[in-house]
């Protein structure tokens, strides 16, 4: 077994013709190079998404494509909970005051009184819900199949109730760009995205495509 590391595009192009297996990002891999990969049998994406491969799926024949779904769930859940804590306590304000050598006391309710809404309950969404629930938060989730309860989720809503989820949430986290997430731009006028940003926050964690910036203005 010979393992080669391509640190840049030039080194990738130099070795791709001899590769039987490629491990790389399924989001931004330069797929044009695969036309030179005459021996390639397997592409392992280091991300859950394989958007880079989809445009050439008709040209790659019998290529096996696998992804890393779920492998980043715990790390992303840590990231989200850190962000929730930063926003809940308004750490940027603390840092600004610290730089001015100021200290202003203000009441901050327990984070357990906050409600995150998790849009998309795949492996990442479930990990986020569990972390939020362990902090005592009330968690609302949205998914198409409501027949099975999800650990850490107090209330499940269907996609058509997205506006209700946003209305009830202090923090909205989009983990999957589905029809559900794509509809956010259309309901921005419902009031959530134009509400008081000192008490509400929005995060789009989808790897491949983001919520239109116009919906967040």
CATH number of the domain residue 30 falls in:
3.40.50.720
Question: pTM of the predicted model, to two decimals?
Answer: 0.73
Q: Is residue 19 part of a domain?
A: yes
Residues 127, 75 contacting (CB under 8 angstroms): no
Q: Is 114:171 a contact under the CB 8 Å cutoff?
A: yes
CA dist., res. 167 & res. 211, Å (int)? 18
Give pLDDT tens digits for 57-114: 777 778 899 998 888 899 999 999 999 999 999 999 999 999 999 999 889 999 999 9
- Chain centroid to Cα 190, Å, comes to 23
207 pLDDT higher than 50: no
Sheet strands (E) in 37-134:
42-45, 64-66, 116-119
Are residue 38 and residue 94 in the same domain, yes or no? no
25 within a domain of the structure (yes/no): yes
Regarding whether 60 and 98 lie in a shared domain, the answer is no
Q: What is the CA radius of gyration of the chain?
A: 21
Quick: pLDDT tens for 153-188. 999 999 888 888 888 999 988 887 654 555 555 554
């Amino acid at each position: 077994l010979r393992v080669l590391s391509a640190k840049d595009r030039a080194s990738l192009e130099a070795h791709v013709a001899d590769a039987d297996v490629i491990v790389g990002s399924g989001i931004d891999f330069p797929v044009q190079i695969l036309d030179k990969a005459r021996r390639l049998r397997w592409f392992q994406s280091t991300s859950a998404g394989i958007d880079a491969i989809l445009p050439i799926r008709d040209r790659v024949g019998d290529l096996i494509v696998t992804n890393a779904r779920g492998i980043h769930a715990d790390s992303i859940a840590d990231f989200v909970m850190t962000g929730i804590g930063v926003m809940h306590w308004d750490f940027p304000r603390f840092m600004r005051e610290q730089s001015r050598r100021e200290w202003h006391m203000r009441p901050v309710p327990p984070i357990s009184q906050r409600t995150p809404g998790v849009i998309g309950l795949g492996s990442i969404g479930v990990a986020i819900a569990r972390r939020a629930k362990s902090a005592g938060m009330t968690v609302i989730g949205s998914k198409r199949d409501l027949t099975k309860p999800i650990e850490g989720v107090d209330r499940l809503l269907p996609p058509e109730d997205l506006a209700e989820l946003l209305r009830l949430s202090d923090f909205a986290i989009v983990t999957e760009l589905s029809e559900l997430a794509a509809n956010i731009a259309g309901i921005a006028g419902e009031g959530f995205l134009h509400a008081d940003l000192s008490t509400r926050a929005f995060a789009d964690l989808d790897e491949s495509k983001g919520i239109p910036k116009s919906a967040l203005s």
